[in-house]
Structure 1
Amino acid sequence: MDTAPDLSRRRWLKGGLTSQHHVQPLPWALDWPAFTAQCTRCGDCIQACPEQIIVVADGGFPAIDFSKGECTFCTDCVSACGEPLFYSTEQAPWQQVAAFSHACLAHQGVHCRSCEDSCEPRAIRFRPRLGGVSVPELEQDACTGCGGCVAACPVSAISIVKEGGAA
């Protein structure tokens, strides 16, 4: 049985592609096949999340929906889980960063700095450009992949991707 996220025509016809656009695995979670093989789908992690950003995703498995807000890396989801589904919280929660698409308002010539304002680690900066609107630049070493910028973007031009990936 395949438990990976369903990107099939069935899901598209049900309108699922847009509603699940910003869904990501939980921080410190094992890789998807190992996670889904052991997760009981009890919902304890969903109830434990103080930010209320953990949702029921494909197959009934929990995932983070960054369109609802950012992950504060509080570890409550890890602590609430009774299964061995997570790596040690002593290591980085994941290897992912923000990525900007060309739908970004700044790329369209519109002054917008919503992502910069919402970025607590200050990984997003706008450098002045002669003759044009400043566009966002990401300092990857400072980006935690928390997703705070995703919910703040008025045109959904930001996604969280594996480090080195593209939007």
Structure 2
Amino acid sequence: MTQGINQSRRNLFSRRKTNVLRPPWVKQDIEFTDICTRCDKCIQVCETHIIKRGDGGFPEVDFSIDECTFCQKCSDICPEPVFDKAQDTPWQVKANIKDNCLTHNGIWCQSCKDACDPRAITFTMAVGQVPKPQIDINSCTGCGACVSPCPNDAIGMAAN
């Protein structure tokens, strides 16, 4: 019985990986919630308003609102050492197409392609079928511009 209690306590205090997307250029080798003071400065300065208060009041990115323009205002205004603009990429997420994409049901839609400035999303033609989206992971910037225009919430952002 004592071993079960100890195991439960260990799980209670262990750090869990989260799927929450933090603002761009957040250092990858830190525990964000240990350093961020929840001052909301990054939320207030975000030009596309995609940074919002998430669980525990910590800033999260919500691509259902809009895209990230990589303006760096969030990292410029933050008084805490959570950002590293010297990183090669703002974050390690890329767009992906979910199974509920309208094209999988024979419905012609190219909303994601139209919204993608780097042209990372292309559509492959096939005889007798609607064109299917393909994402060039190397061209995808992770800006999330393709997420909000999707009428079926079929674009996700995940770590590459």
What TM bracket, shorter-length normalisation? 0.7 to 0.9
In 2, Cα distance between equivalents of 1:47 and 1:94 = 20
Q: Does 1:53 align with 2:50?
A: yes
Q: How many residues align?
A: 148
Secondary structure of residue in 2 paired with 1:78: helix
Q: TM-score, normalised by structure 2?
A: 0.85
Query: Which secondary structure does the structure 2 equivalent of 1:125 belong to?
Result: strand
State the 1:31 CA deviation: 3.7
1:40 aligns with 2:8: no
Q: Which 5+ residue runs of structure 1 have no aligned equivalent?
A: 7-20
Higher Cα Rg: structure 1 or 2?
A: 2
* Correspondence 1:90-109 to 2 at 5 A: 91-109=88-106
**Alignment-mate amino acid for residue 85 of structure 1:** V
Q: What amino acid is the match of 1:124? A: I
Q: Residue 18 of structure 1 corresponds to which residue in structure 2?
A: none
Percent same amino acid among aligned pairs? 44
- 1:4-83 → structure 2 map (5 Å cutoff): 24-31=21-28, 34-83=31-80
- For residues 74-153 of structure 1, the aligned pairs below 5 Å read 74-89=71-86, 91-153=88-150
TM-score (norm 1): 0.82
**Structure 2: which 5+ residue stretches go unaligned?**
1-12
Question: Does the C-alpha gap of structure 1 residues 2 and 59 become closer, same or farther in structure 2, counting only changes over 3 Å?
Answer: farther
Contact 2:75 2:85 in 1 (8 A): no
Aligned alpha-carbon RMSD (Å): 2.0
